[in-house]
A and B are shown apart, each in its own frame.
Chain A
């Protein structure tokens, strides 16, 4: 997804407003673009507060910043800059992260960012894109950069086998029957979710845009049981689903990455398993939920 991002973002430089701001991460990949546009491909070095502050200043002059770094450094370290240098100034930027919850599992806690989407969700009116396949990236990015509001694009090395380019609104991938339990899978967890309920009458819908969440689609598809499967902190979208279905009796199972620090390395697949997000783990949780 990162390569696709670099290639796509580079083409956006044809628009003189587009300005890419980096903090060393991916700077080598953007070097050819920086050579052509030295004033609009800016590497501030390993300075994430400045990274986002610069984006705010650029936006104040009318430029459209694309801000890129590793997820925990971009969102967690520079959270106050996101809140104040963008939102409070009334300007927007497109933040694009790599690393996701545990793409570099062996790097340990410092490089894990399961809370990024929850943090962005404390802010108002952000669009959040969580592509599940590299071919979903160009369309999402184009839409985000063409606007003037703020968007967070969360890239990952984890991926589904196929792309669903038009899946901002909930897209039904598997239709069980009206009133069947509804499972909503976000981004790269779709394949595992599909495998988990393969032999169960569960409708599966996919989205790569958890904010704004497609609440109209949710209301149209949901029966009594709703299952959320998110590749970041468990429960991040629970409040949105709860509010959307507040007028209906319903039960919600919100699955995602746990809060405890595991202090284990391994691979992303290992962490999926440890957080119960592999097909077998999801199946266990769903069966327990539906057995009630």
Chain B
């Protein structure tokens, strides 16, 4: 079923502050919050009860350092107990500075080293297809700087060439790639046959339209641009 319960932004910020515990977080943590919220509120068909359901949607956080908002959201949605947010990164905590799928319910991949999520996502999409599961969709969240890693371009070219229709990549573009992406990040995907939408990364309606805008014939990319850092 589709989760439509909106997460109260104030609650989410409170949970994020609980993870933060007075520490300074980088801009990437805040720039990812909106897209995570739209995904978990309105797009992903995943609940705490269906984390092992083979027909669930998959959300793969490839930019594993954007983890504080992810943990806050998983707590808000009931995937993990709220108490887990305290002492994040501590010796007895299950929540590292990068997520570990074996330690955190609802986390599909352990990430941290950039450039691994999209390849894993392609494999997941292929596995679902081989099993005849045409309903679940695979979403992979990357950063624009993460796109520097060549492994992404192996995955982009292959997924495009083979029309891997059950895959959506989301590029959180906070303009952090050292050498930029002249012509826009989306063009790296579209030239390989992906459909693409580039939207304002804090506009929930625009994000929702983009995240549900795939055409079932080819992979889809959503570039969420966030430049208004706090």
B46 at the interface (CB under 8 A from A): no
B158 in contact with A53 (CB, 8 Å)? no
Report whether A60 and B130 are in contact in the complex, using a CB–CB cutoff of 8 Å.
no
Highest count of chain B CB atoms <10 Å: which of A53, A56, A57, A60: A57
Using A19-B127, A47-B158 as known contacts, say yes or no to A60 and B119 having CB atoms under 8 A apart.
Answer: no
Q: Which residues of B contact A81 (CB under 8 A)?
A: 116, 119, 151
How far does the alpha carbon of A57 sit from the alpha carbon of B121 in the complex, in Å?
6
Whether A58 lies near B126 (C-beta < 8 A) is yes
Stretch of B3-11, B83-91, B102-110, B192-200 that contacts chain A: B102-110
Interface residues of B in 106-131 (CB under 8 A from A): 108-110, 113, 115-116, 118-131
What does DSSP make chain B's interface, helix, strand, loop or mixed? Answer: helix
Q: For chain B, give the interface size range.
A: 20 to 34
In A34-68, which residues have CB < 8 Å from any B CB? 39-40, 42, 44-45, 47, 49-50, 52-63, 65
Q: How far is the CA of A84 from the CA of B101 in the complex (A)?
A: 12
CB neighbours (8 Å) of B157 from chain A are: 45, 47
Q: Which of B130, B131, B151 contacts A49 (CB 8 A)?
A: B151
Contact stretch, chosen from A85-93, A137-145, A199-207, A210-218: A85-93
Kindly state the separation between the CA atoms of A65 and B123 in the bound complex, as whole angstroms: 10
> B155 at interface (Cβ–Cβ under 8 A)?
yes
Complex-state Cα separation, A60 to B101, whole angstroms: 11
Count A-side interface residues using an 8 Å CB cutoff.
30
User: Would B108 and A60 count as touching, CB distance under 8 A?
Assistant: yes
* A84 x B119 contact (CB < 8 A): no
**B123 and A54: CB pair below 8 A?**
yes
Task: Give Cα A51–Cα B158 distance, bound, in whole angstroms.
Answer: 11
**Cβ distance A122 to chain B, nearest Cβ, rounded Å:** 16
CB neighbours (8 Å) of A52 from chain B are 119
**CB <8 Å contact, B113 and A57:** no
Cβ-defined contact, A50 with B127, below 8 A: no
- Smallest distance from the beta carbon of A135 to chain B beta carbons, Å? 31
What does the 1/0 interface line of B139-167 toward A look like (CB < 8 Å)?
00000000000110011011001000000
A53 pairs with B122, CB closer than 8 A: yes
A90 touches B102 (CB 8 A): yes
A39 touches B130 (CB 8 A): yes
Q: Across the interface, do B154 and A58 meet the contact criterion of CB distance under 8 Å?
A: no
Asked if B120 contacts A45 (CB within 8 A), the reply is no
Docked-complex contact B116 and A60, CB < 8 angstroms: no
Contact check, A50 vs B155: say whether CB atoms are below 8 A apart: yes
**Which residues of the partner chain B approach A49 to less than 8 Å between Cβ atoms?**
115, 119, 150-151, 154
Check A57–B116 contact: CB distance below 8 A: no
Q: Does A166 contact B (CB under 8 A)?
A: no
8 contacts across the A-B interface (CB closer than 8 A): A44-B154, A53-B119, A53-B151, A53-B155, A55-B123, A60-B124, A81-B151, A88-B100
Give A contacts to B, CB under 8 Å: 16, 19, 39-40, 42, 44-45, 47, 49-50, 52-63, 65, 80-81, 84-85, 88-90
State the 4 A-B residue pairs at the shortest beta-carbon distance, nearest first.
A57-B123, A53-B119, A61-B127, A54-B123
